[in-house]
Amino acid sequence: MSIVSVQPLGIELEVAPDQTVMAAAVAAGYGWPTVCEANASCGTCVSIVEEGAENCGPMPADEEETLTRTLVPLDGQRRLACRLTVTGPVTLKKRGVHKAE
Ligand code: FES
């Protein structure tokens, strides 16, 4: 398990090696902004990697395609939470993450 801190909400998520950050958030009872329901097509879940970029998993082709289509720079600092896996501690900034009702 790796710990992902999510700001500005200030939560810490435990993320399994084969789990995406968004899936871990949902499993922990949080909502993450999405329109496509985690299909890597809307770009709504894009998050800023503030720390731990070296612990972020490789970018899959569908994530790269969506970031490119939505004019998000492929700089490794912006990732789709619905495709992001981690291998160590990461701090993400994403507004709109909230406790699910
Ligand atoms: S939820 Fe739509 S791209 Fe990630």
- Residue 95 confidence (pLDDT): 98
CA of 51 to the centre of ligand 1 (A): 21
Position in ligand 1 atom list of the atom nearest CA 35: 2
pTM of the prediction? 0.96
* Class level of CATH domain 2-99: alpha beta
pLDDT band of 50, cuts 50, 70, 90: very high
Residues with CB under 6 A from ligand 1: 34-36, 38, 40-45, 66, 80, 82
- Per DSSP, the residues of 8-41 read TTTEEEEE-TTS-HHHHHHHTTEE---SSSSSS-
* 78-98 per-position pLDDT tens digit: 999 999 999 999 999 999 999
CA of 64 to the centre of ligand 1 (A): 12
CA of 90 to the centre of ligand 1 (A): 19
